A and B are shown apart, each in its own frame.
Chain A
Amino acid sequence: MNPWTEKTESVEEWLGLLRSRQELMENVTYWHTQPAKPSRSVPMPERVHPKLAEALQQKGITQLYTHQAASFQAVADGHHVVTVTPTASGKTLCYNLPVIQKLLEDDSARALYLFPTKALAQDQVAELQELANLMEADIKTHTYDGDTPPTVRQAIRNAGHIVVTNPDMLHSAILPHHTKWVKLFENIRYIIIDELHAYRGVFGSHVANVIRRLKRICRFYGSEPQFLCASATIRNPQEHAERLIGEPVALVDDNGAPTGEKHLVFYNPPVVNKQLGIRRSSVLESQKLAAMLLKSGIQTIVFARSRVRVEILLTYLQENIKHELGKKSIRGYRGGYLPKLRREIERGLRNGEIRGVVSTNALELGIDIGQLQACVLNGYPGTIASTWQQSGRAGRRQGSSVTFLVASSNPLDQYLIQNPDYFLGRPPEEARIHPDNLLILLDHLKCAAYELPFEEGDVFGGEKLTDLLEFLAEEKVLHRVGSRWYWMEQAFPAHNISLRSAAQENFVIIDQTEGHRVIGEVDRFSAPTLIHEEAIYLHEGVQYQVEKLDYPEKKAYVREVNVDYFTDANLAVELKVLHVDLESTSGPLERQFGEVTVMAKPTIFKKIRLRTHENIGSGPIHLPEEILHTSGYWFSFSEEQSGKRSANDMQMALLGLANVLIHLAPLHLMCDPLDIRVVPQVKALHTKRPTIYFYDRYPGGIGLSQRLYEKHDELLEEAQRLIRGCGCLSGCPACVGPIEEVGLLGKDLALSLLQGMSERS
């Protein structure tokens, strides 16, 4: 270390310093080191067009990494391909190579590139154009999205060799107007789907249907393109790709790119109140580590889970290191920043002018920011896949890098930090989609019928097509003539269907203390309990009271207040089982999977005094009941098991267990934690027994609870391990929940219920 500047020469040296600091090392629960890996490459294949080989040579590429060569070969063999490699491994060449090769051989050929966001599309076009310029080849690459000026659209439709767009644009602008794209669809050879892992859950289920429509249009124009997909590391890339495109896919996952040594450090903030199980704030600890790194001159990225946290961390950091580094060298990055600003930050990171960045998962996707040296994760990002993806932002091909995982106090974080083997010994999550969700399927069936009539014998998705078409005909959307169904409605169906519907459902919170200012968002399902009228809504530690909830317009108007209570709403959830699809009994435990109807209605809210927690008043909530048809999974306890417990004890035990399970569920699902819900019932209507229900929080279900049904045993085991391993005395937010919620015996009750189960089964 340079004693004058406190700057270290390398990450290794810095880590040496860290190891010598006892007060920090006490909090390190695990230190994992991945050794450096040399590159494995093969000579440039002879088949590569000489022009292309020469251009690559000018870029310094004379050999291919093994995975690049393997995918080049797989494409040549006519397979659909998915390539899975970590960040910065030369992934784009895996698909650009065969595409450009084809375009050099055949000028009439066309390719379509799909990226989940516009920003990624623009990066890609720049790269392709650079290559085309080096080859002095006339390869026209264009983005086609909402920003494309109308004047050039026609030229792109007729003459663009490579059209780069996003699924939303494909869905609402290209497919419904496919007759304007005859040139593209008649000659389309390749369809590139990058960031495949981003297409999961509801969004992925929509996109899978858009691809069904795309394939249908291609068939109509007599073309049969190959799909070239690329994904970050997930457990089931091949299966996911196959479900998304509905075709068998060859997997290329032999990564030949070199990596430097990587350190993964698990860091648990120290406990400050053992009774309540409260740890020091993960935000403050993350900030401390990041500041140490930055002061030593190490380029660092900090990931936080919410936009608000990004802003808080950024403010702290800028303040903390203002003497060492200028304010401009630490930046924030998140959705909501304007594109121009984002480009500026990306550039600054690449050329090293910007030394630190605090970001949401917006930087998780493949935006080019070069490779940094250190990464601090403020809280577990939610999935193993995201964790690797974010930590991959640090790590150059040479030299060491370090990632800190700073645990927050929620049960999932605490489980992982105490069970590092679980994290390291386990492949990342599966990406799940459920393209045959009836509502999603019907939506896209309408769009597909608008694009081309359906004919008896056609296939679209896994459900019986004629039944669906008949249904739409009865709804007077389609008109049947003989063996064909025609679109027969005035509407343009794609306009009413958004691929990313979940985001639109949010309620915005408008502070009218001074003028009107949007301060935050609450998702639709939490709205009835969090922002009903008279609720106290907390935002960055400030109390606001909801004055008016405009339910149809999805707006809550709040005003800043200073009161000594918070509000707690009662939500009456009724759950009806409509149909049982799967069931299995093991010992006293019965579990089932099927279709459920969930009816949720907020009833009253209580005002609870801060600190003393006494009830100081209540009021009614007048909001409509939310009805959700979805799929669910549930398990119930036999009378024998519950018989010894009072109803109240059972209630507490179930509640505690439910709290743990809902936090652990995302371990098996690549989903937003809010996509799956849990309801414990002491005497369930369906089973007449104590039961815990899980359900997908999307109409029709998206396959999440089905996955949990399959993972049932593991899930309960993990729950037991978590509760046992928690250092608290009788329940805390990091396990069964705070004692205010589950009572003084909550932890023991939940544990004994679990033990009773495992002993008997």
Chain B
Amino acid sequence: MSGLRERLGRLRSSSAEAPTTDETTSSLDLSATPEIPNLSPEFIEIGVRLIDNESGQFLLRRVEYPFPYRHGRYDLADMLTCASHLHPIATRQNRQSPVDAIDPYRLLFLDTETTGLGVGTGNVPFMIGFGYYTETAFVVEQTLIRHPGEERAMLTYLLGHMKDKTHLVTYNGRTFDWPVLVNRFILNGWRQSGQEPGHLDFLHPSRALWRNTLPSCRLSMVEEARLGIQRGEDVPGSLAPALYFQYLADGNATHLHGVYTHNEKDILTLASLCVHFGFLLSGGIDLRSREGIEGEELFRTACWLEQHHNLEAAERLFVQLNEMEDIADSGGWSLALAARYKRAGQHERALPLWRRAAEKAESSSLPKLDAHIELAIYYEHRDKQPLTALIYAEKALELAYRRAKFISDAAKRKDEKETLQHRVTRLKNKVTRERK
């Protein structure tokens, strides 16, 4: 075989973005040391310092936000008063390790910037940003590694800060940031000792509330639409890996300035989001006063509050929903609410919701049949008025035909019609029998 380098060179010349010069001499230089003692001015200008610990070196930036500090709609200091209300979320998310109470000083707000997607072993968090409360301020710290060799020192530092914390506050940290960090611990030869940290991952509560009302549940979308935060110019998180690779290639830390800002803002937003949910659970937010809030969001919020054992606040919202004039029902909340009343045996509260939904269906070009079917069931079995039930069932069958041309699944279409036909026939028999 010809020389390996020659063959490798040929491989390169056949690829499109091949460099034109063909380097064949060995560029191995073992004297290059991983320790880079001097910090470039581009780091110093944004307040980055070099830290030495028992595992090596890494970079650290620390910013304090003394109280009061307002980030969007909320003051971060409000966290100190409303943190205890987050307890139901913590309980729900950490069934294995329940806690008695949430102590704001023992929360670590965490967000990492990584070199890739997914939680494979080759995905390296090059920046770990975290925030925590002191008596007088909210502190953000951001660690950065200038190369993967500094990872161990950075992780050691992070573990130091996790020691007295009970929960990690994250946005999707439970399935992303934390597993990625666990990979790194294992790769560094550390095994888990003692308790896993608890999670307060706000992605899931955010989805529960805004899944149907926001175009997406990305943090940047949520903060702008619901927390009143305007980021202005921001490097999107998806660009962070490319910017880091640029820095690795030319050593110019200016590439990273935007990443630092982005990560810092994410952590502040996490705290702000935390306050939002704290207030929501404490009943400190009057959603009724929010302008333009949709029934859908009220309904989802009410259900979420109910799941988190805040029945009183939930009930207030349910009552309000019943009274709402405008029912722009994008997510189908009125039927869901009616179903809820039905389960609770409160048919009298479900009835008006069904009637309104039925009215709406009749004027729709792609109608839902559910309200009519519910009404038919109610009148047949509850109210014992088979004739009224028959009217609703026949109407439903009519709607089913109108609907049929939009349903591509032939079997489903047929099934729907057959079930309805069966119901209509049975009701007709019943009515005839009663007349006799």
Chain A residues within CB distance 8 Å of chain B: 176-179, 182, 438-439, 442, 449-453, 456, 463-464, 466-468, 470-471, 474-476, 479, 481-484, 486-493, 578-579, 581, 595, 627, 629
Contacts and interface: CB of A to CB of B under 8 A. Distances in A.
A489 B1 contact: no
A43 B241 CA distance: 64
Contacts of A467: 4-5, 8, 26
B370 to A, nearest CB: 30
B251 interface: no
A451 B2 contact: no
A173 to B, nearest CB: 10
B236 to A, nearest CB: 14
Given A176-B121, A176-B122, A490-B241, A595 B2 contact: yes
Q: Which of B122, B182, B245 has the most CB of A within 10 A?
A: B122
A228 to B, nearest CB: 27
A176 B120 contact: yes
Nearest to B150: A481
Which of B7, B12, B26, B242 counts the most chain A CB atoms within 10 A?
B7
A451 B148 contact: no
Contacts of A487: 122, 124
B120 A177 contact: yes
A489 B115 contact: yes
Interface of B: 1-2, 4-5, 7-8, 10-12, 14, 19, 23, 26-28, 30, 32-34, 115-122, 124, 147-149, 182-183, 186-187, 191, 241-242, 245, 248-249
Given A438-B8, A479-B248, 5 more contacts: A178-B121, A453-B148, A467-B5, A488-B115, A629-B14
A634 to B, nearest CB: 17
Contacts of B115: 488-490
B34 A481 contact: yes
Given A451-B121, A476-B249, A492-B116, A470 B183 contact: no
A479 B150 CA distance: 13
B7 to A, nearest CB: 6
A476 to B, nearest CB: 7
Contacts of A456: 30
A177 B186 CA distance: 11
A488 B7 contact: no
Interface-central residue, B19, B30, B121, B241, by most chain A CB under 10 Å:
B121
Given A179-B186, A581-B1, A438 B11 contact: yes
Contact of B149 (A178, A484, A492): A484
Q: Interface on chain A toward B: helix, strand, loop, or mixed SS?
A: mixed
A456 B11 CA distance: 24
A227 to B, nearest CB: 23
Nearest to B35: A482
Given A179-B187, A466-B28, A490 B117 contact: yes
A335 to B, nearest CB: 29
A453 B188 CA distance: 11
A178 B2 CA distance: 36
B27 to A, nearest CB: 7
A470 B8 CA distance: 10
Contacts of B26: 467, 470
A479 B11 contact: no
Nearest to A175: B121
Contacts of B23: 474
B248 A179 contact: no
27 contacts: A177-B119, A179-B121, A179-B187, A182-B186, A439-B11, A451-B121, A452-B187, A467-B5, A471-B12, A476-B245, A484-B149, A486-B148, A487-B122, A489-B116, A490-B115, A490-B116, A490-B117, A491-B116, A492-B117, A493-B122, A578-B10, A579-B2, A581-B1, A581-B2, A595-B2, A629-B11, A629-B14
A759 B4 CA distance: 40
B408 to A, nearest CB: 18
B149 A579 contact: no
B33 to A, nearest CB: 6
A581 B117 CA distance: 43
A363 B136 CA distance: 74
Contacts of A439: 11
B11 A492 contact: no
Nearest to B5: A467
A205 to B, nearest CB: 15
Contacts of A581: 1-2
A470 B27 contact: yes
Contacts of B119: 177
Contact of B183 (A179, A475, A595): A179
B5 to A, nearest CB: 6
Contacts of B122: 176, 449-451, 487, 492-493
A586 to B, nearest CB: 23
A689 B120 CA distance: 55
A299 B412 CA distance: 44
Contact of B34 (A466, A468, A482): A482
A34 B118 CA distance: 58
Given A179-B183, A488-B248, A481 B4 contact: no
A448 to B, nearest CB: 10
B7 A482 contact: no
B7 A438 contact: yes
A489 B120 CA distance: 12
B237 to A, nearest CB: 12
Contacts of B191: 182
A634 B26 CA distance: 34
A450 B121 contact: yes
Nearest to A484: B149
A449 B121 CA distance: 10
Contacts of B241: 490
A471 B18 CA distance: 12
A578 B3 CA distance: 12
Nearest to B241: A490
Contacts of B33: 482
A439 B116 CA distance: 24
B58 to A, nearest CB: 13
A490 B2 contact: no
Q: Sort A-B residue pairs by CB-CB distance and give the 3 closest, nearest first.
A: A450-B122, A579-B2, A486-B148
B121 A475 contact: no
Nearest to A449: B122
A460 to B, nearest CB: 13
A468 B8 contact: yes
B292 to A, nearest CB: 39
Contact of A468 (B4, B121, B148, B249): B4
Which of A470, A481, A493: most chain B CB closer than 10 A?
A: A481
Given A471-B8, A474-B23, A488-B248, A578 B2 contact: yes
A475 B124 contact: no
A393 to B, nearest CB: 41
A579 B6 CA distance: 11
Contacts of B242: 490
A464 B34 CA distance: 23
A479 B149 CA distance: 10
A724 to B, nearest CB: 38
Contacts of A449: 122
A497 to B, nearest CB: 13
Given A179-B182, A451-B122, A481 B148 contact: yes
A627 to B, nearest CB: 7
Contacts of A178: 121
Contacts of A182: 186, 191
B124 A486 contact: yes
Q: Which of B19, B33, B148 has the most CB of A within 10 A?
A: B148
Contacts of B4: 438, 463-464, 467-468
Contacts of A492: 116-118, 120, 122
Contacts of B12: 471, 475
B114 to A, nearest CB: 9
A162 B27 CA distance: 46
Contact of B14 (A442, A468, A475, A627): A627
Contacts of B32: 481-482
A492 B120 CA distance: 8
